[in-house]
A and B are shown apart, each in its own frame.
Chain A
Amino acid sequence: GAGVSQSPRYKVAKRGQDVALRCDPISGHVSLFWYQQALGQGPEFLTYFQNEAQLDKSGLPSDRFFAERPEGSVSTLKIQRTQQEDSAVYLCASSSSSAGTFFSPLHFGNGTRLTVT
């Protein structure tokens, strides 16, 4: 597609529920990133995929957070047993460059706003 697509746009979950957020990156982009953005803050890095390999998951806040990109294209971020502090906008971004190389600009999706009640 023309840009990074994320779904759903909004998600309301009750505390303790599991959620799955989807990201469809720009076609052919090697790198895919997940970020979490709380209100009034800059995006915080969660995890990075190069093709299907998850090369960096240092930003995942707990083992309740899990991400996958099984075929090197679409990615899913799953949050188990959601808590109120998980409420945030989850941004996905893709890039044509690979890890360790000259960093190309990230192209962001519009995000999924997660509200945990």
Chain B
Amino acid sequence: DAGITQSPRHKVTETGTPVTLRCHQTENHRYMYWYRQDPGHGLRLIHYSYGVKDTDKGEVSDGYSVSRSKTEDFLLTLESATSSQTSVYFCAIRVGGTEFLYEQFFGPGTRLTVL
């Protein structure tokens, strides 16, 4: 257990409303990632962070922004939610050290429905 929690676990919202998803880790890992999972697409990287205030875009970043003001929290914001952003969102962290080289541990996910 890498100590990753996501909140909320489920959310239903309406088109055009802002939404923020939170990922929290308890072990001070440097690297954190946000993915979305859609049937037939696997997991696709939205944004990632390599330290406090250090973030970068992934392959499907349009319509999303992130912030990381503390090591333990990585926030994903949908500024104006659209139905195409209905998905399951996973946060992941990468554990450092040669034993866990590039291995990522995943949170339980947030199921977001945009009506």
Q: Do A and B bind each other?
A: no
